Amino acid sequence: MLPGFNVPSTSGQFENGTLVLNFAHYATQLRATLKEGLLEGEYASARRAYAFQAEPFVTPPQPPAAVPSVAGLWEIAGVQSAKGEAAWRLIVRQSGAEVSAAILRVDGDTGALTGSYRDGKFVLSHLSGARPALLLLTPASDGAVTVNLTDGKGNHELVATRPAIARAKGLPEPTDPSRHTSVKDPAEPFHLRFPDLDGRMVSNTDARFEGRVVIVSIMGSWCPNCHDEAPFLAGLYRKYHAEGLEIVALSFEEAEQLKDPTRLPAFIGQYGIGYTVLLAGEPSELNAKLPQGVDLDCWPTTFILGRNGRVRAVHAGFPGHASGALRGEAERELTSSRNCLRRISGLRVKNPCLGLSNSHSDAHGGVPDCAGREYGQIAEHLLGACLALRLRQRQVSIDAAAHLREIYGNGGLPQLFEQ
């Protein structure tokens, strides 16, 4: 089992023919009765229940001699999502007739579905902590794959093609999560004022955030993709908090969970979260509580604030482990060398083309295209030197500066750093 593909229960028991498994960090329970070698029951939360029947595992029959290859990255066209998406990504891993797959949207992926090839199609499914689903992948003679997904939102039948073919046909690309959400006024500090779980009010103007880079995660303990992001943020906090990084999670929970938070404390404990978690309201109140956001409609959404409290970048969603290399891209987006310079460290970075500080860059915190190839090369070289760039205010380590001079020489180094 690959990491992140399974959801272990937090407690459980089997007594008098009845199996009970609790998933406290999802506030769900699996209850089933053993009858004639089968488990029959339901997986339920306070709001919804899924009936199921399970039978003992049996080694599948020998697969057919010729199993089509569907491994790799695909793009699903014809999407019409409420978030304005026109395409999704499909990531497939394959070993003979055995496959695992995930569909990646702008807000995150479906989680890993696993299965095998039979009767001309790949049949995959999962029952994860929050989202049971069935996925059928049928290879077509023209090289495309018919995608049939059944989940809690209904049934969807779409077509997937390889990215190169999609570009050749002029099909729209999947939404870029680093450009989906922005803020109305990037020159305005990001405002927040919400209580923690003990009722103490926490504000962006508190002394603990002054002069520090702050990551603000918009999340909810009901949200599957927030469960994907939380371990990553917890590790980031442990690694960089002592050097000046703060993380604040704004948790939007259902009304009953706001009155009696039980799932959120379990969520915090499950992932070893040491950063600040605040109760921000109900999910339906998201845009009213955070009116600075534009297209703020993904769970989670991550805002990166500079030392002056302004938004330097926004990343919508977060992929799970099932997205493979695309999860790595999301992690690098938040911790890459350029972000290390401009979002996490205490430096400001000059645009060598315009001679302007990064406060004049675009609302997403990106470097304007005119910065040129040389700037990008420097950023790439700094990827391996992030640890040499301290998070403390106005400080560049001698090691990092020496690293740059070794690569470019004293005469060829642009004036990137500005106190």
Among the candidates 262, 284, 315, a domain finishes at 315
Question: Is 1 a member of any domain?
Answer: no
Averaged pLDDT of the chain: 82
What is the count of structural domains for the chain?
4
50 and 119: one domain?
Answer: no
What's the pLDDT score for residue 289? 98
Question: Is 2 a member of any domain?
Answer: no
Asked if pLDDT for residue 128 goes beyond 60, the answer is yes
Phi first, then psi: give them for residue 331, nearest 5 degrees: -65, -40
248 and 343: one domain?
Answer: no
DSSP assignment string, 198-226 = TS-EEETTSGGGTTSEEEEEEE-TT-HHH
162 and 192: one domain?
Answer: no
80 and 143: one domain?
Answer: yes
When pLDDT is cut at 50, 70 and 90, the band that residue 8 belongs to is confident
Question: Is 395 a member of any domain?
Answer: yes
160 and 194: one domain?
Answer: no
When pLDDT is cut at 50, 70 and 90, the band that residue 336 belongs to is low
Question: Is 59 a member of any domain?
Answer: no
192 and 296: one domain?
Answer: yes
197 and 310: one domain?
Answer: yes
Number of Cα atoms under 13 Å in the Cβ half of residue 243: 19
193 and 310: one domain?
Answer: yes
Residue 255 is which amino acid?
A
When pLDDT is cut at 50, 70 and 90, the band that residue 179 belongs to is very high
Among the candidates 122, 138, 168, a domain finishes at 168
| Spatial distance between the Cα atoms of 213 and 295, rounded to a whole number of angstroms | 23
Question: Is residue 403 classed as helix, strand or coil in its secondary structure?
Answer: helix
Is it true that the peptide bond before 300 is cis, omega within 30 degrees of 0? yes
CATH assignment at residue 295: 3.40.30.10
CATH assignment at residue 82: 2.40.128.120
When pLDDT is cut at 50, 70 and 90, the band that residue 81 belongs to is very high
302 and 404: one domain?
Answer: no
142 and 106: one domain?
Answer: yes
Phi first, then psi: give them for residue 317, nearest 5 degrees: 70, 180
293-331 per-position pLDDT tens digit: 999 999 999 999 999 999 999 999 999 999 999 999 999
Of residues 12 and 392, more confidently modeled: 12
Residues 67-104: b if buried by 16+ CB within 10 A, e if exposed: bbebeebbbbbebeeebebebbbbbbbbeebebbbbbb
Domain housing 112: 72-168
